[in-house]
């Protein structure tokens, strides 16, 4: 439900209702909006089934149909394993296992008539701090991670790697290891963080760097990076 499928765009004239093909559910779980807050607060969708795309990460923007840096934080339903297919999608039945309590973006999507769902993109999105209760100590964890482990400027990263490879890789290595240490400590200290890491802290920085040609390997207790120019 993260994408408006290309097939849907092409079939817009002929199609008038959902064929229940499930393609939209294999393109990424739905982003959550203000109207979905009760699903989380009432435990109908557990936080361990969420993933956070932090502001500035590259993600597919359905409005432009391009991969672009996000202007705001996005919390969405996580994928299955390493795939983006929504964790609530059942491939056997090609159905949704939480159909009655699916988020707004899923209820709104008509791939053959995408205007309504495109209007939702980056609008009234829920952030981690919206979802966590105001008095929850995990609010502080999220804030501390944001300030200790800020993301690099992904827009200028490729150019920086070209222009000053050694220094840029060294800076990124330091950031990757700071992020990893923060996570390890947080996970050791709390079983909740262990379960909800992808929601609370988003994806580890080293994973976000791989599309830029940065390969990661372990040396002792540290992660090292090696850059291979994308061709
Ligand atoms: S909205 Fe219905 S027809 Fe369109 S991609 Fe999703 S499941 Fe298939
Ligand atoms: S919640 Fe259901 S309808 Fe929405 S993307 Fe996941 S499987 Fe599809």
* Ligand nearest, relative to CA of residue 117: 1
Q: Burial, 22: exposed, middle or buried (Cβ in 10 Å; 0-12, 13-18, 19+)?
A: middle
- Could you tell me if the CB of 107 is within 6 A of ligand 1? no
Nearest to 29 by CA among 58, 47, 3: 3
Higher pLDDT, 6 or 161: 161
Instruction: Express each pLDDT in 4-47 by its tens digit.
Output: 454 445 555 578 899 989 999 998 889 999 999 999 999 999 99
183 CA distance to ligand 2 middle (Å): 29
| Domain residue ranges of the chain, discontinuous segments joined by + | 6-130, 133-227
Query: Per the structure block, which two tokens stand in for 128?
Result: 């981690």
Distances in whole angstroms, Cα of residue 104 to Cα of each of 2, 24, 93, 138: 12, 14, 22, 26
Please give the angle made by the CA atoms of 208, 211 and 217, to the nearest 5 degrees: 70
| pLDDT of amino acid 83 | 78
Query: Per the structure block, which two tokens stand in for 202?
Result: 């988003």
| pLDDT of amino acid 82 | 67
| pLDDT of amino acid 55 | 97
Cβ count near 78 (within 10 Å):
19
- Could you tell me if the CB of 88 is within 6 A of ligand 2? yes
Q: Burial, 192: exposed, middle or buried (Cβ in 10 Å; 0-12, 13-18, 19+)?
A: middle
pLDDT band at 3 (very low <50, low <70, confident <90, very high): very low
Full-model pTM: 0.90
25 CA distance to ligand 2 middle (Å): 5
pLDDT band at 230 (very low <50, low <70, confident <90, very high): low
């Amino acid at each position: 439900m993260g994408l408006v499928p290309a097939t849907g765009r092409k079939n817009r004239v002929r199609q008038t209702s959902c064929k229940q093909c499930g393609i939209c559910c294999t393109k990424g779980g739905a982003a959550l909006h203000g109207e979905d807050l009760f699903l989380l607060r009432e435990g109908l969708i557990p936080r361990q089934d969420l993933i956070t795309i932090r502001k500035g990460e590259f993600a597919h923007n359905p409005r432009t149909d391009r991969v672009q840096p996000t202007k705001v934080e996005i919390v969405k339903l996580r994928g299955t394993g390493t795939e983006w297919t929504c964790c609530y999608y059942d491939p056997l039945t090609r159905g949704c296992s939480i159909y009655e309590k699916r988020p707004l973006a899923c209820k709104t999507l008509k791939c053959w008539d995408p205007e309504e769902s495109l209007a939702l993109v980056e609008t009234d999105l829920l952030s981690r701090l919206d979802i966590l209760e105001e008095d929850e100590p995990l609010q502080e964890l999220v804030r501390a991670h944001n300030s200790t482990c800020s993301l690099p400027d992904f827009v200028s990263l490729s150019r920086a790697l070209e222009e000053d490879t050694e220094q840029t890789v060294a800076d990124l290595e330091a950031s990757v290891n700071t992020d990893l240490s923060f996570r390890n400590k947080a996970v050791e200290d709390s079983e909740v963080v262990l379960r909800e890491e992808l929601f609370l802290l988003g994806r580890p920085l080293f994973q976000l760097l791989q599309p830029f040609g940065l390969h990661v390997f372990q040396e002792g207790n540290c992660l090292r990076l090696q850059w291979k120019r994308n061709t």
